[in-house]
Amino acid sequence: MLDLLIEETLETQVTGKILTIQRHIMEMERQYPQASGDFSGLLYDICMAAKQISYHVNKAGLMNLLGKEGTENVHGEQVKKLDIFAHETFVKALDHGGHLCVMGSEEERDIIPIPEEYPIGKYVCLFDPLDGSSNIDVNVSIGTIFSIHKRVDPSETGAGTLEDCLQPGWKQVCAGYVIYGSSTMIVYTAGNGVHGFTLDPSYGEFILSHENIQIPKRGSIYSVNESNFDYWDEGFKNYIRWVKKIDEKTNRPRNCRYIGSMVADIHRNLLYGGVFCYPADLKDPSKPSGKLRLLYEAAPMAFIVEQAGGKATTGTQRILDIEPDGLHQRVPVIIGSEEDVTVVEEFMQGLRV
Ligand code: AHM
Ligand code: MG
C-alpha cells in the first residue's frame, strides 16, 4: 500500500502535474514578452513572507506569541504580538527586492518608505499583515491580505509617495490573500482569473490546488455580525429580516456563517457561494462607514471576488471605483455572489422593503 502511495507521488512529480506558484507566475508572465520579471520577483517575496508567518502562526501557542502586546495600533485597537511579527515580516521581506517604491500597512499610520540603501522599484504594495486578529488566541483561521499597484508615474525613479498609495481599486495589478486555516493557502489574481495554491509543508511550496476559481452566481450563505442589528439603517435591517424568512421558492432562510475573520469568511463564500456584509453602523460615531479599511481589506478582496465572477459594493457604489481619500479610510462592504449582492443592494437602496 505504502509502495503504491510512494509510486503515485513520484509519478505525479515525474509527469510534472505538480505546479508551484512560482512556475505558475512564470508561465503567466511568459505570455507577456515585455515583462521584466519584477512582478514575479515581488510575488516570490510575498510567498516567502506568507510561509514565515504561516510557520509562526502554527507554532504561536508554543512560542509565546499569543496574547496582547499591550500597545494600541493607529486605530486605537489592542495590538497582539503576532500582528507585529507579521507586519515586520512583510516589511522585511519586501523592502530590499528592488520591486517596490513604497509600502503601506494596516498596522502603520503613515506610508512605509523603502530604506535608502535599497533600490527603488515601480510597484506599490499595501497589506493587512494579519487580519482577524481577535481570532489569534483561539486557533481560528486568520489571514493576510495584499494589494499591488503600479506607481502613478512610471517614469519616476525616486521614493514613492502617499499619492502612489491612494489609487482606486480598479487600478490594482494584483491582489491576494493568505489564509492560515486547516491548511495554509494563497489565493491571488493578477487580472487573469483567481488561482489558489495550498502550502505543502513537506516541500515548503505553494502548489496549485484551485485553478480559475469561480464564485457561484448565488449561494445559500450570508455572513454578518448580527449583534450590530440595532445599529444598522432600516434598509439593511430589512435585508436581514428578508434573508431569515421562510420561503422555499427563494431558498430561505439562508444559512448564517460568520467567523469574524474576513479572509476566512470570504474564502468560504468564494468556494460555496454567498454574501459577506460589513455595512455602516452607528455603533461608533468615529467609524460611520463601518469597520473595514478600503485599501487594506475591501479593495483587494473586491478585486479577487470580481475576478471570480462576483460583485463588491458599499451598497451604493462599486468598491473598486472609490477614489481613496486616506490610507486608513473605512467603507461599508457587501461582497460575494453576484445575485446575492444585488439583493442586498436593492434593500439598502430602498428598492425592496
Ligand atoms: P482586524 O483588521 O483588526 O483584524 O479587523 C478586521 C476583522 C475582519 O477580519 C472581520 O471581518 C471583522 O474584523 C470582524 O469584526 P467584528 O468583530 O466587529 O464582527
Ligand atoms: Mg484587518
Query: Nearest residue CA, atom 17 of ligand 1?
Result: 260
The answer to whether the pTM exceeds 0.75 is yes
Q: Rounded CA gap, 276 and 313, in Å? A: 11
Predicted pLDDT of residue 60: 76
Q: Rounded CA gap, 204 and 241, in Å? A: 46
Predicted pLDDT of residue 258: 98
Predicted pLDDT of residue 7: 46
Q: Please report the atom of ligand 1 found closest to the CA of residue 278.
A: 11
Distance 261 CA to ligand 1 centre (A): 6
Q: Rounded CA gap, 100 and 109, in Å? A: 19
Predicted pLDDT of residue 32: 72
The answer for 136, left when phi > 0, alpha when psi is -120 to 50, beta otherwise, is alpha
Predicted pLDDT of residue 298: 98
Q: Rounded CA gap, 105 and 102, in Å? A: 10
pLDDT in tens, 202-222: 989 999 999 999 999 999 999
pLDDT in tens, 233-253: 999 999 999 999 999 999 999
Predicted pLDDT of residue 64: 66
Ligand nearest, relative to CA of residue 228:
1
Predicted pLDDT of residue 5: 42
Task: State which of 179, 257, 261 you would mutate to test the pocket of ligand 1, scoring each by most atoms of that ligand within 8 A of its C-beta.
Answer: 261
Residues with beta carbon inside 6 Å of ligand 1? Answer: 77, 106, 128, 131-134, 225, 260-262, 278, 291
Q: What is the amino acid identity at position 227?
A: S
Predicted pLDDT of residue 314: 98
Cell (9 digits) for 151: 506607481
Closest CA to 281 of 325, 318, 227, 320: 227
Q: By the 8 A CB rule, do 152 and 305 touch?
A: no
Predicted pLDDT of residue 95: 97
Q: Which regions of the chain are under pLDDT 50?
A: 1-14
